[in-house]
């Protein structure tokens, strides 16, 4: 059984397992296994010679980097060409952009690097399409600008958030306030400065054993979840602010537009054709 199949099997088991006191330890271990397999799935591209694919190795420049993320044909290239002097080919068919195309926005003396990335498809976190290359670049961004098709409602947003979450990109979240350090010996020393309601010492020990960690110091400084603990143990998560941009609002009715506008304070509506 390959890594992708193992990931899918664990996801199915998590989905069909009822969440209650009797299953919380089992679910915690499953989540730890899932995180490990997802990391293994991304590692080959990093270890196989370091190639990121033609057009993806873009040098970071300017005062900040913004990555344009979205499904194919949502208007990313049109947006880049409109707000920068860079021409990115735009067309009504999907997969127009095949490489990473950089542009620069000059605003109040600041230079902001804007990257037009190829459209993500469902399953990108498992290596489908150019998912690995797109994700590798997205992790280096200071801001993710998620382009969405307003006619698709929140379906695209949910799918993209799921893909980015699966590869360790945490949108609009701060790093959990958990101190974690491996040691050469002395066993596991666990303390917490606040009451914990999402996990206990037995749960933490189970997750550490799954990672074959038997000596470590852990201090919980906030009431964190099992998923947040796993993020800290993995050590490769990135926490990036995200701005949601709904394009093609000229194709929806006023009521739908009003609903979108009220749904989140971190979003914009536009019609880039």
Identify whether 95 is part of a domain: yes
The answer to whether residues 86 and 137 belong to one domain is yes
Identify whether 56 is part of a domain: no
Q: What is the pLDDT of residue 78?
A: 85
Number of domain units in the chain: 2
List average pLDDT for each run of 10 residues in the chain, which is 273 residues long. 88 92 90 91 56 60 92 84 70 51 89 86 68 82 93 87 91 97 95 94 94 96 96 95 92 87 81 72
Q: What is the pLDDT of residue 136?
A: 81
Rounded CA separation 237/166 (Å): 10
The answer to whether residues 228 and 242 belong to one domain is no
The answer to whether residues 151 and 249 belong to one domain is yes
The answer to whether residues 41 and 133 belong to one domain is no
The answer to whether residues 130 and 222 belong to one domain is no
Q: What is the pLDDT of residue 88?
A: 58
Identify whether 58 is part of a domain: no
The answer to whether residues 44 and 155 belong to one domain is no
The answer to whether residues 74 and 123 belong to one domain is yes
Domain range for 263 is 64-173+237-269
Q: What is the pLDDT of residue 76?
A: 84
The answer to whether residues 141 and 187 belong to one domain is no
pLDDT in tens, 77-93: 888 888 887 755 544 43
Closest by alpha carbon to 138, among 50, 61, 241, 268?
241
């Amino acid at each position: 059984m390959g890594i992708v199949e193992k990931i899918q099997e664990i996801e199915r088991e998590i989905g069909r397992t009822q969440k209650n006191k009797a299953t919380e330890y089992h679910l915690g271990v499953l989540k730890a296994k899932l995180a490990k397999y997802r990391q293994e799935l991304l590692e080959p591209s990093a270890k196989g010679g370091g190639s990121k694919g033609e057009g993806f190795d873009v040098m970071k420049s300017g005062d900040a980097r913004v990555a344009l993320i979205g499904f194919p044909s949502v208007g990313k290239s049109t947006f880049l060409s409109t707000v920068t002097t860079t021409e990115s080919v735009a067309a009504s068919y999907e997969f127009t952009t095949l490489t990473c195309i950089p542009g620069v926005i000059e605003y109040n003396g600041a230079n902001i690097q804007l990257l037009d990335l190829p459209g993500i498809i469902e399953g990108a976190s498992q290596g489908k399409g150019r998912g690995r290359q797109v994700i590798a670049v997205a992790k280096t961004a200071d801001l993710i600008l998620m382009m969405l098709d307003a006619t698709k409602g929140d379906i695209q947003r949910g799918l993209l958030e799921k893909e980015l979450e699966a590869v360790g990109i945490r949108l609009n979240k701060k790093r959990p306030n958990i101190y974690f350090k491996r040691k050469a010996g002395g066993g596991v020393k666990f303390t917490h400065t606040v009451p914990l309601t999402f996990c206990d010492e037995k749960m933490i020990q189970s997750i550490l054993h799954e990672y074959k960690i038997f000596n470590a110091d852990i201090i919980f400084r906030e009431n964190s979840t099992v998923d947040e603990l796993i993020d800290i143990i993995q050590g490769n998560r990135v926490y990036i602010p995200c701005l949601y941009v709904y394009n093609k609002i000229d194709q929806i009715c006023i009521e739908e537009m009003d609903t979108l506008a009220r749904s989140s304070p971190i979003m914009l509506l536009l019609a880039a054709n």
